[in-house]
Amino acid sequence: MRSSSFVLLSVLVMTSQSAFAQTREETTKILNEMRSTGRMAEIPLIPQTGPKATSIKKNLEAIKLPPGFKISLYALVPDARHIAVGPQGVTTIVSTRKNKIYAVTDRAKSGVAEEVKQFAPTLGDLTIPDGVCFSRDGFLYVVEQNALLEFPAAEFFYESPDVVINPVVKGDLIPKSEESYNHTSHACTVGPDNKIYLTLGQPYNVPPKEKFDLYNDLGIGGIVRMDRDGKNREVFARGVRNSVGLAFNPKDKTLWFTDNQVDGMGDDIPPGELNRAAKAELNFGFPWYGGGKTRTVEYQDDTPPADVVFPQVETIAHAADLGMSFYTGKMFPKKYQGAIFSAQHGSWNRPEPVGARVMVTYLKEDGTVDKMEPFAQGWLTADGEYTGRPVDVQSLRDGSLLVSDDFAGALYRITYTGR
C-alpha cells in the first residue's frame, strides 16, 4: 500500500535550455505541486558479491560476441527489466515486472555498479512498474499496470527514501475492466515532440470482436502519446498486439518498436516484428495479421485495412523481442553507430526454445532496415536451458551497452576494446 504521509514540497530548479525542457514557469509550478512519498531512515542496499555474482560471471564466459567485444557483470538487480539511463549520468533506473524499481549507481565510473537500492521505497509496493524512461530535463516516468508516475529531478532525489512524485495518470490509463496480468507491461519513451509515448498491449492472445471498437478508440493494442502532464492523449499507432520496446531514431525522428505476436499457431509461425512508424495514425495489422503477413484464424474472414504497414524485420517466431534502443555512442566501431540493439527474451512454450540473445539491426541511408543479425548470444545452452533472458538494451554515456536480464536478476555491460 502506498504511504499516506504525503506533504507538499516546494522546490525551485533551474531548467535545461534544450527543446525538451519545460519553461522555467512551468517547471516551478509543477514542482510546487509535487508531493513527497513519505519518510524512511535508510534504504537497504542489494548485495553485489557472493555465490550468485560468481555464478553469473561464470555463465558470461559462454556468451559469444563479435571480435573485440567483452561482456561483464555490471550489477545484481532483482528481476531487472527495462533500463532508463539518467541524462546527467548519475544513476540508472531499472524496472521490474513485480512491485519495485531500483537505482543503480557507479560513482567511480569503474564499469561496475557499486550501489544498487530500491528507488522511492516509501511509495510501498508498485503494480507492475515495467516501463521507465527519462526526459532530457531529468524527469523520470514510471508506467505501472494502470498508472503513469512522474518523478522530477530523480537523479538528485534518488539517494533519499523520500522522493518527489506527481501521479500524471492514476488508475485510468486503461479501463479497470481491461486490467490483466496478460500483456500488461507498458514501455515508454519521451519523443522529439516532448510528449510521452506508451505501449498498450491488449489482454488477449487475439481479442474478441466485441472488444474491437473499445480497443481501437483507446489505443489498447497500440501506442498512445500524451503531453507530459497527461493531457491531450491520442492514439499514435494501431494494430500492435503487444509491444514491450520502443525508441525514436535520433537521425530521422521515426518511432521504432518491437511487437510480440500470436501464440498457439505453431512453433514456426507467426514471426515477431520490428516496426517503423514514419508518422502518426498508421495501422500495423493486428488482429487481422498475427505477425508479419500471417492471418489469424479469428479474423481470417474479415478484410484488413488497405494501408496496413508490415514490419521492417520479421524475426524468428516466439523469440519474444522486447526492449530496444538506437546506439548513439562512439565506443563501438562505425558500423554499429546508429544501429538498433534489441533483446530477444526467449520463447516460453516452444518445444525447442529460441531467443535469449541480443540482436543488432543495421539501417540503410534512407532510414529503413538493411539487415538484422545476432550480436550477443549464449544464454540458451545446447541442452535448451536458459542461463539468462535479456529484456532491454541501453547505452551508457561512455558508449558501453547495458543489457538487463530478469531471469538472472542482473545487468551486463558490453564494451569494445578492439583487442
Residue-wise pLDDT tens for the chain (419 aa)?
343 333 323 332 333 333 334 454 665 565 555 555 666 568 999 999 999 999 999 999 999 999 999 999 999 999 999 999 999 999 999 999 999 999 999 999 999 999 999 999 999 999 999 999 999 999 999 999 999 999 999 999 999 888 889 999 999 999 999 999 889 999 999 999 999 999 999 999 999 999 999 999 999 999 999 999 999 999 999 999 999 999 999 999 999 999 999 999 999 999 999 999 999 999 999 999 999 999 999 999 999 999 999 999 999 999 999 999 999 999 999 999 999 999 999 999 899 999 999 999 999 999 999 999 999 999 999 999 999 999 999 999 999 999 999 999 999 999 999 86
With H, G, I as helix, E, B as strand and everything else as coil, classify residue 202.
coil
Residue 181's pLDDT is: 83
Residue 1's pLDDT is: 37
- Stretch (H or E) spanning 56: helix 51-60
Residue 32's pLDDT is: 56
CA torsion 41-44-45-49 (nearest 10°) is 140
With H, G, I as helix, E, B as strand and everything else as coil, classify residue 156.
helix
Residue 136's pLDDT is: 96
Write the Ramachandran bin of 365: left for phi over 0, alpha for psi from -120 to 50, otherwise beta.
Answer: alpha
Residue 162's pLDDT is: 84
Nearest residue to 184 (alpha-carbon basis) of 220, 233, 237, 150: 220
Residue 41's pLDDT is: 61
User: Domain locations in the chain?
Assistant: 24-416
Residues with Cβ within 8 Å of 333's Cβ and at least 6 positions away in sequence, in order, are 68, 416, 418
Whether 103 and 117 have beta carbons less than 8 Å apart is answered as yes
d(CA 326, CA 332): 13
Cell 526467449, located at residue: 346
d(CA 399, CA 336): 11
Nearest residue to 200 (alpha-carbon basis) of 182, 218, 221: 221
Whether 140 and 88 have beta carbons less than 8 Å apart is answered as no
Give the rounded distance of the alpha carbon of 231 from its chain centre.
Answer: 22
The conformation of residue 380, written as its DSSP 8-state character, comes to: B
Residue 21's pLDDT is: 42
Amino acid symbol at 414: I
d(CA 1, CA 4): 9
**Interior/surface letters 337-347, b for 16+ CB within 10 angstroms, e for the rest:** eebbbbbbbbb
* CATH level 2 (architecture), domain 24-416: 6 Propeller (2.120)
Residue 101's pLDDT is: 98
With H, G, I as helix, E, B as strand and everything else as coil, classify residue 210.
helix
Nearest residue to 232 (alpha-carbon basis) of 169, 284, 179: 169
Side-chain-facing half-sphere of 357: CA atoms under 13 Å: 22
The conformation of residue 397, written as its DSSP 8-state character, comes to: T
